[in-house]
């Protein structure tokens, strides 16, 4: 399965700091990729942002046209960052150091980590602490922009909430049993540049250390899983009858606290932890109403944000230079990335 340049790039961008300002001497050596109002984006900034994804794409055998398209998408994300930064400065919405500290403390608490453990986890995924703080700063400022410029346009109707509940829970089971699971995936294949044997050796070492009491399942997941490591392997509650076919035979024989042996699948080497079992009770509308309302509001906010950003693009002078001057291609990519 070939890596999607758009998905991979967007995942990378949210964990990357905003582009730096270049000095005049650097412009002469480097080159301008785009001008956004009075700000500029350097070619080196595009290459720097795109390089990790480019390396993975080339290792997976992606054609040159897809790599060029990913570079154009990188430029669009940097242009967007400049546009948002301009709004933040103009409206004085900059995140304070205290707000950044509070956000990081909240993330640590939500994930059950100390600040020191969170810092080590961040660094293990290739970010320095200053880069991570810049990422959090950008997210806080984006949230402030959303609240200031977009939130007033969003309204969730009761009928929409009811329809969403019916879609999500209309066919839920009436009884039975459900299980709380955690999952470690050590993937293999071209996308992760790891073969099956290496992946399973990593998984076998992980299960040995977990069962030996050297480390708990959640901490090991943060270290080695290729699926949402920040979630520490958490899957949550699943009805026994809804388990994936590769999970079901193993899980049905497990008791709370058990950790499976390595389970090989076409996509990787897997470990499961059964945290808890309980009888299944259907979700009532009153129980789900608040969460569904919040999720619908988030989705509407994102759509309104995209519309607002497109309006902002038309109000600010944006000029792409050199390799990225083919506006028709870039505009096409932008419209595709704006689709819900």
Whole domain around residue 104: which residue ranges? 95-153
Domain tally for the chain?
2
pLDDT at 324: 61
The widest CA-to-CA distance across the chain, in whole angstroms, is 70
* Helices of type H across 91-195: 97-110, 115-124, 129-145, 158-169
pLDDT digits (tens, 9 = 90+) for 188-232: 987 778 899 999 999 999 999 999 999 999 999 999 999 988 888
- Give the CATH number, domain containing residue 257: 3.10.50.40
Regarding whether 192 and 137 lie in a shared domain, the answer is: no
Domain termination residue (choose one: 153, 188, 221): 153
pLDDT digits (tens, 9 = 90+) for 49-97: 888 788 878 887 888 888 888 888 888 888 888 888 888 998 999 999 9
pLDDT digits (tens, 9 = 90+) for 223-279: 999 998 888 899 999 999 999 999 999 999 999 999 999 999 999 999 999 999 999
Regarding whether 199 and 102 lie in a shared domain, the answer is: no
Asked whether the beta carbons of 328 and 69 are under 8 A apart, the reply is no
pLDDT digits (tens, 9 = 90+) for 141-194: 988 988 888 888 889 999 999 999 999 888 888 889 999 999 999 999 877 788
Regarding whether 262 and 184 lie in a shared domain, the answer is: yes
Regarding whether 274 and 179 lie in a shared domain, the answer is: yes
Cα distances (Å, whole numbers) of residue 143 to 18, 109, 183, 238, 304: 16, 20, 31, 32, 13
């Amino acid at each position: 399965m070939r890596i999607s340049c758009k998905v991979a790039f967007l995942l990378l961008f949210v964990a990357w700091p905003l582009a730096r300002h270049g000095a005049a001497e650097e412009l002469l050596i480097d080159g301008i990729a785009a001008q956004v109002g009075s700000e500029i984006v350097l070619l080196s900034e595009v290459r720097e942002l795109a390089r990790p994804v480019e390396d993975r794409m080339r290792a997976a055998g992606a054609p040159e046209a897809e790599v060029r398209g990913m570079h154009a998408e990188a430029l669009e994300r940097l242009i967007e960052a400049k546009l948002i930064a301009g709004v933040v400065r103009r409206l004085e919405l900059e995140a304070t150091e205290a707000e950044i500290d509070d956000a990081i403390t909240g993330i640590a608490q939500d994930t059950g980590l100390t600040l020191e453990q969170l810092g080590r986890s961040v660094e293990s995924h290739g970010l320095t602490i200053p880069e991570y703080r810049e990422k959090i700063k950008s997210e806080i400022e984006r949230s402030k922009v959303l609240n200031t410029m977009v939130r007033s346009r969003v309204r969730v109707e009761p009928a929409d909430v009811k329809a969403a509940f019916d879609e999500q829970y209309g066919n839920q089971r009436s009884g039975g049993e459900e299980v709380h699971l955690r999952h470690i995936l050590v993937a293999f294949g071209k996308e992760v540049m790891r073969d099956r044997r290496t992946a399973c050796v990593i998984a076998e070492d992980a299960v040995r250390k977990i069962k030996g009491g050297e480390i708990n399942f959640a901490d090991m997941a943060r270290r080695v899983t290729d699926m949402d490591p920040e979630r520490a392997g958490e899957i949550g509650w699943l009805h026994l009858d809804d388990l994936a076919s590769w999970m079901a035979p193993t899980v049905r024989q497990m008791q709370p606290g058990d950790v499976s042996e390595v389970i090989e699948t076409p996509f990787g080497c897997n470990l499961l932890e059964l945290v808890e079992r309980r009888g299944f009770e259907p979700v009532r509308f009153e129980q789900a109403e608040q969460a569904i309302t919040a999720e619908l509001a988030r989705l509407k906010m994102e759509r309104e944000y995209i519309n607002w950003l497109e309006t902002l693009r038309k109000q600010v002078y944006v000029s792409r230079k050199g390799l990225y001057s083919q506006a028709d291609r870039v505009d096409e990519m932008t419209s595709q990335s704006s689709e819900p």
